[in-house]
Chain A
Amino acid sequence: DTGVSQNPRHKITKRGQNVTFRCDPISEHNRLYWYRQTLGQGPEFLTYFQNEAQLEKSRLLSDRFSAERPKGSFSTLEIQRTEQGDSAMYLCASSSLAVGELFFGEGSRLTVL
């Protein structure tokens, strides 16, 4: 069991730059989720995919954020024109069932200077 893999684990960037995070879910899982977590807060839902279809996107997510899962396997989360407020841990999770528990990766920490 290789688990959910996220890369890079830590990204430091300057305000205004674009960043991209990659998530490789557990291979047999058809659902993939992105969450954001800041210190002292629980994970905040961003978006989720079933296979390659993006089924839900948080209304809190600005147009600078975009996610893809082109072949229903790995996913990317891109943040354009980063702002200091984007600094957070970006979590990816996958699951195999509609009511199943989430399996999380260890996260990608973004620091925007």
Chain B
Amino acid sequence: AQSVAQPEDQVNVAEGNPLTVKCTYSVSGNPYLFWYVQYPNRGLQFLLKYITGDNLVKGSYGFEAEFNKSQTSFHLKKPSALVSDSALYFCAVRDNTNAGKSTFGDGTTLTVKP
């Protein structure tokens, strides 16, 4: 079985400050990890993924995430937050032995205040 935990329902940061949205996962095999963002009344959009290789992956809109195998984490980060980053963020995991479903966390609402 595979699962994802996003321990924070909400993250609040000031514009210009760094942000971190946390994600931990559990899979049987090696993980494929993803971050998606959902703006109000819009579909989920892909931000970035880790499949293999460098533990630090870079994605859209200046976001990056670090894969940590020992801590089974894949935290989303951005050095300087923008008000327009305010949205709902989902972490997802897929087991590399099961090329089918991705399992999603329950999401973290990021609010960036001016």
A and B pair up = yes
Query: Whole-angstrom distance between the alpha carbons of A58 and B103 in the complex?
Result: 12
Interface string of A89-104 (1 = CB under 8 A from B): 0010100001101111
Report yes or no: A91 in contact with B43, Cβ–Cβ below 8 A.
Answer: yes
Chain B contacts of A93 at CB under 8 A?
44
In chain B, what residue has the closest Cβ to A44? Answer: B104
Shortest A41–chain B CB gap in Å is 6
Interface string of B2-40 (1 = CB under 8 A from A): 001000000000000000000000000000101010000
Residue from A45, A58, A91, A98 in contact with B44 in the complex, judged by beta carbons closer than 8 Å: A91
Q: CB within 8 Å of B: which of A63-96?
A: 91, 93
Chain B contacts of A56 at CB under 8 A?
100-101
Query: Whole-angstrom distance between the alpha carbons of A35 and B103 in the complex?
Result: 10
Shortest B19–chain A CB gap in Å is 20
Count of A residues near B, CB < 8 Å?
24
- Known A-B contacts A40-B106, A99-B51, A101-B34; the reply to A45 vs B45 at CB < 8 A is no
Report yes or no: B99 in contact with A41, Cβ–Cβ below 8 A.
Answer: no
B73 CB-CB contact with A under 8 Å: no
A16 CB-CB contact with B under 8 Å: no
Query: Whole-angstrom distance between the alpha carbons of A42 and B90 in the complex?
Result: 7
Shortest A48–chain B CB gap in Å is 5
Interface string of B81-106 (1 = CB under 8 A from A): 00000000010101010011111111
- Known A-B contacts A99-B32, A99-B99, A101-B34; the reply to A107 vs B105 at CB < 8 A is no
Known: A42-B92, A93-B44. 11 other contacts (CB 8 A): A40-B106, A42-B90, A42-B106, A42-B107, A45-B102, A56-B100, A56-B101, A99-B32, A101-B34, A102-B102, A106-B43
